[in-house]
Structure 1
Amino acid sequence: MVSKHEPLLPPPHRLYLPPPLPADAFASLAAAAAAAECNWSPAVFGLLVRVLARSGRVADALRACCRALRIGLPPDAAAFNCLLCALVNAGQFDLSWKLYRRMRSAGVDPNSYTFNILIRALCRGEGAEKAGEFLEEWESDGFDPDIVTYNTLLDGYCRRGRLGDALYLFDVMFRRGVEPDLVSYTVLVNGLCRDGRVAEARRLFNRMLQRGLSPDGLAYRALIAGYCKKGRMREARALLNEMISSRLVPDSITCGVVVEGHVKCGKLLSCLNLVVQLRKYGIVISLDSYEKLVSALCAEDRPNAARNLLNWMLQDGYSPNLKIYNLIVDCFCKCDCVQEVLELKDEMVGRDIRPNLETYRILISCLCRLGKSSEGEILMAEMIDSGLMPDSLICSALVHCCCRRREFGKAESLLTYFSQELVIYDNESYNALMRAYCEENDMAESLELQDRLLTLGFVPSSETCKSMIYTLSRNEIHG
């Protein structure tokens, strides 16, 4: 009778979990077989090789396979194929061929799956040129390559830029009675587009449609990317609309290719209209695409459009980073839109995005350029309260602004503060003050200012001397 406190089923973590394989599974299996006084079977060790390979223990699987070969019980073709596939996926092409030779010498007959794995190894490695020879060798042994074989070869040739060989093989497929499938066409379309042969790629795409094959997202993306690479954005948009009409949803990579194509061509307005259309259809625009478009709009001094795009990003659930905000802040500042940029800063803070030194540098430089040194000083105090220290560029912006406004006392106070409190000695700011002061005051007053600045630790330069000489010569003329 089951106790009411005892669960009817074991905890979930105890259900259907086999024990982990021991470190030396081959030795454990051999010992168990010997203890049971049973006959060793190649199928048992073949199963071990497959389990080890599929669980990611490729080195252990290879060792188990070699030990089985040494004791004269080679695994079957399925086990060899599983191990070969794992080695090829790991990029161990030399080991793959060594294992294949051991397989043949052990009398294990390869099959078509073995053949396709090795063709893939040739195409992924440096042996795409040898793949055709290997194909002929196997055909002479009585093997008939299937569609997987041809597609693997097509992909290998296209990746190596051997489009002539790929197109020839494509024609051979028809002569040998192997009908190309969607993968065959997609691989060739992609290869032609990467080589800039978009017109040929389009003809092949149309030929695929005429044969009754329905292109998928990858086929459309290949051709769309080809048009974008050529800057033919009208055709790319038309193909994208055709794709949507076929009830295929463009993925983020496809949308990103189209956005980047518009950005490279400088067709930002068309791109914005396209983004509106895609969002209307419920198609997700990737964060990377948004960021590229924002950057392009800011580069063309379109801060309001970039701000609208920022709102779309927020509506789509993205959290724009500080870099994006700084781009838009800088764009507004370049256009002297002070009110908008201050509102954007408040929005940043409201979204828990802390302005950094670059943010404050952009804002303070903008305010100073517009003669708003007092507002700039307020922002500097704010950044110091937040734990950020101003740099020489902020010092230069504030001092130059005060000099243009002939607020020499404030400029001197700023230089004193930066040198004494922050240990920042900006000689450009020092010379700017000396130059402006010398233009307005006589030699005695200019020398007094220089003495005060020297006590702070500033060192005169040739520029300082020019300002003093200018004051001296001006006094002599008027004296």
Structure 2
Amino acid sequence: MASFPTQTATTRVLPFPTQTATTRRTSPTRSQALSDPEPVSGEHSSKMVTRTIAKEMEKLRRREARERKEMANRQVGSQKAVSVILRREATKAVIDKSRKKGPINSKKLLPQTLLEALHERVTALRWESALKIFELLREQLWYRPNPGVYIKLIVMLGKCKQPGKAHDLFQAMVDEGCVLDCESYTALLSAYSRSGLLDKAFSLLEEMKSTPGCEPDVQTYSILIKSCLQVFAFDKVHILLSDMANYGIKPNTVTYNTLIDAYGKARKFSEMESTLVEMLGDRRCQPDVWTMNSTLRAFGNIGQIETMEKCYDKFQAAGIQPNVQTFNILLDSYGKVQDYKKMSAVMEYMQKYHYSWTIVTYNIVIDAFGKAGDLKQMEYLFRLMRSERIKPSCVTLCSLVRAYAHAGKPEKIGGVLRFVENSDVLLDSVFFNCLVDAYGRLGCLAEMKGVLEMMQEKGCEPDIITYRTMIKVYSFKGMDSHAKELIQLLPTVKRPPFKRDKPDF
């Protein structure tokens, strides 16, 4: 991918001074000096040259320091200008022209300031702010269209599920005369496929095939294959793989890893095995740690621990070293089969060889010990997590609530809620549904009903799972009137999304 062009402050390098630039008023002329040189001792001459060089170097240092300071001041001024202009855009207010330094000229901002601000917002996926800065950039007198900047913005919009904005930016790129290539088309195709617009993505793929200089490459196909696999469109994946073969495009390691991971999650083990064999037969694509992790996860999720361990040994024998994600997969797999001895062995290994625990690691072990009823160990890990300054998530809190509910300790759930009140953890319907289920199991019906008020205070609407859980509890307790009241609300409530993105689960 193209990168943002940046402007760096260069230091002026001057030639080493060989003679002084000034001459004493009493010194002879150049012709006199050449015809009748004044005899000077070698030691005295050396001292004069040394002093002269020192003076010149001091002048250079002062000049460079002054230039650096001026550049820093211009950058600070430009950054303040960008900030003020963005505030103006956000509030639609007119900039106060009575400022001491006069009105801001928004068309003469420093390139480095704008590009750094743009890069910062693109990295943080703050797409609205990024587009405002890009419009400001296009207003500058020094602006020239740069395909790399457009591509980064289109990729960002794809990640933010803004395919319409990505298309508009792609069209603006065309209107400004940027030369289109495979990378620019692939960025837009990625934006379509990430939002599930597979028809548009396939249509764009056909357009790329017929556009000279923009023919799809292995990255284009890999992105589209991944999007198809996420919606289990395996038939489309086979079409894409055949298409690649027809055009002589060989899969790379990313393509193979994507296929192995998807087949493993779908429990299509024969396809996963054949893909792995094909990968091993391709000398250009050697398995890596992602290949190992996908394979281990596939067998660990279905409880085939022995097969998982054999694969782990084979990958290690091939020279592939594990990473933190590998150990997280092992911990999760052992936790599902309640093999806490092997879990402890993995934890000790990570500590011995200084593998830093992530939020995923903590969530896995907290959930495992919670399900085992070992509340003491679970609470110790939760305190350790906070001492390591790793912020708990909804996944962490759900594990605590479920464990306390199974242990019959409603007062401990109250402690979790007090922690929530004193923290900035972003709560979602999954946590509140877990809370409803926990209070229902404990028979705390007043507290269960109070969860609805908590959801309203937090701006989180109940979904169909919330009401069905409450209906089940009311029906079990013989409270038919309460159950019927909620049943009447079911057609009006929203259903949870088919896929929940939990990066820390």
- Tell me the TM-score normalised to structure 1 length: 0.52
Which of residues 200, 205, 224 in structure 1 aligns to 2:366? 224
- The amino acid that maps onto 1:228 is G
CA contact (8 A) 1:49 1:62 kept: no
Matches within 5 A, 1:163-202: 163-202=305-344
SS at structure 1 position matched to 2:188: helix
CA contact (8 A) 1:231 1:261 kept: yes
CA contact (8 A) 1:189 1:204 kept: yes
- The amino acid that maps onto 1:82 is I
CA distance in 1, matches of 2:167, 2:345: 57
Cα 1:233–1:49 shift into 2, 3 Å:
same
Structure 2 residue 192 is matched with structure 1 residue 52: no
Q: Which residue of 2 aligns with 1:259?
A: 401
Q: Which residue of 1 aligns with 2:70?
A: none
CA contact (8 A) 1:189 1:222 kept: yes
Cα 1:45–1:61 shift into 2, 3 Å:
farther
CA deviation after TM superposition for structure 1 residue 181, in Å: 0.8
CA deviation after TM superposition for structure 1 residue 145, in Å: 0.9
- The amino acid that maps onto 2:232 is G
Matches within 5 A, 1:357-396: none
- Tell me the TM-score normalised to structure 2 length: 0.50
- The amino acid that maps onto 1:61 is A
CA deviation after TM superposition for structure 1 residue 154, in Å: 1.9
CA distance in 1, matches of 2:318, 2:134: 54
Cα 1:318–1:104 shift into 2, 3 Å:
closer
Question: What are structure 1's unaligned runs of at least 5 residues?
Answer: 33-40, 335-356, 362-479
CA deviation after TM superposition for structure 1 residue 295, in Å: 4.2
CA distance in 1, matches of 2:460, 2:212: 62
Q: Which residue of 1 aligns with 2:33?
A: none
Question: What are structure 2's unaligned runs of at least 5 residues?
Answer: 1-96, 98-104, 108-130, 139-149, 155-163, 486-505
Q: From the two aligned structures, give the one with the greater helix fraction.
A: 1
- The amino acid that maps onto 2:257 is N
CA contact (8 A) 2:192 2:201 kept: no
SS at structure 1 position matched to 2:202: helix
CA contact (8 A) 1:192 1:200 kept: yes
Q: Which residue of 2 aligns with 1:235?
A: 377
CA deviation after TM superposition for structure 1 residue 276, in Å: 4.8
- The amino acid that maps onto 2:309 is L
- The amino acid that maps onto 1:152 is S
Matches within 5 A, 1:35-434: 44=181, 47-56=184-193, 57-66=197-206, 74-142=215-283, 143-273=285-415, 275-276=417-418, 286-288=431-433, 290-292=435-437, 294-295=439-440, 299=443, 306=447
Bigger Rg, structure 1 or 2: 1
CA distance in 1, matches of 2:455, 2:165: 47
SS at structure 2 position matched to 1:266: coil
Identity %: 17
Cα 1:72–1:132 shift into 2, 3 Å:
farther
CA distance in 1, matches of 2:182, 2:418: 60
Q: Cα deviations across residues 275-331 of structure 1 (Å, max 9, x unaligned)?
A: 55676677677544554555456x269x7xx59x98x9699868999x99xx9xxx9
Q: Cα deviations across residues 163-218 of structure 1 (Å, max 9, x unaligned)?
A: 32222222223222221111111112112212222332232122222221111111
Cα 1:67–1:288 shift into 2, 3 Å:
closer
SS at structure 2 position matched to 1:55: helix
CA distance in 1, matches of 2:191, 2:406: 44
Aligned pairs, number: 307
Cα 1:159–1:259 shift into 2, 3 Å:
same
CA deviation after TM superposition for structure 1 residue 50, in Å: 4.5
Greater RCO (CA < 8 Å, at least 6 residues apart): 2
CA contact (8 A) 1:52 1:61 kept: yes
SS at structure 1 position matched to 2:345: helix
- The amino acid that maps onto 1:51 is L
- The amino acid that maps onto 1:115 is Y
CA distance in 2, matches of 1:105, 1:83: 17
Cα 1:105–1:239 shift into 2, 3 Å:
same
